Amino acid sequence: MDKIIKDLTSRFKVTDYIQQRPNMAYVTVQKELAISLITHMRDIEGFTHFVLLTAVDWIEDNLFQLTYILNSPDKKVDLGIRVMIDRENPTMDSAHHLWQQVATYQRELKEMFGIDFPGSPRVDESFILEGWDDIPPYRRDFDTLKYAEETYFPRDGRGSNDPAEYMKKKLYPDEEK
């Protein structure tokens, strides 16, 4: 893996190399080089299996982090490729041409985070939230409590419990405080 990372550092200017465990590492790459790097990993380095695409909302930094996880079945290693994109204009080139299932992940990220992948098949169709007209619910500025209070009516029997105390009572009913 060290040899691959050294090559990627010079060729694609990757940064923030993190060796999570012997068979799992992460690198960060500039948005403009990400699809080229992913293509290189598939076609040259043998990372032929696409594992997943996910996002993190770094609201404090006004960024989204996309993470593409690729696997090399021959080398038995995983590589996470991280890309930081602007939260105000969240667009990223599509990778659906490399693996068809990428389009499904991109469609989900469009709906749940508002990240656009122009040219990705069906990216503008509803995925889960048919008729949703609020901000994307996985963004950290989406107020889930406010949404729940405005959407659902209170019912008798509903209550709130401290999970730690509630589980102690359930697991150890005979124990006194």
pLDDT beyond 60 at 120: yes
What token pair was written down for 78?
A: 């995983």
Domain assignment present for 72 = yes
* Count of structural domains within the chain: 1
Domain assignment present for 13 = yes
Domain assignment present for 34 = yes
Using an 8 Å Cβ cutoff, are 95 and 105 in contact?
no
Boundaries of domain holding 155: 2-171
Domain assignment present for 86 = yes
Per-residue pLDDT tens for 55-94? 999 999 999 999 999 999 999 999 999 999 999 999 999 9
Domain assignment present for 37 = yes
Cα(95)–Cα(106) distance, integer angstroms: 9
Domain assignment present for 126 = yes
Domain assignment present for 177 = no
Domain assignment present for 77 = yes
Per-residue pLDDT tens for 14-71? 999 999 999 999 999 999 999 999 999 999 999 999 999 999 999 999 999 999 999 9
Query: Which CATH number does the domain housing residue 59 bear?
Result: 3.30.460.80
Res 166: pLDDT = 87
Q: Would you list the DSSP string of 101-132?
A: THHHHHHHHHHHH--B-TT-TTTTS-SS-TT-
CA distances from 48 to 24, 43, 99 (A): 15, 7, 9
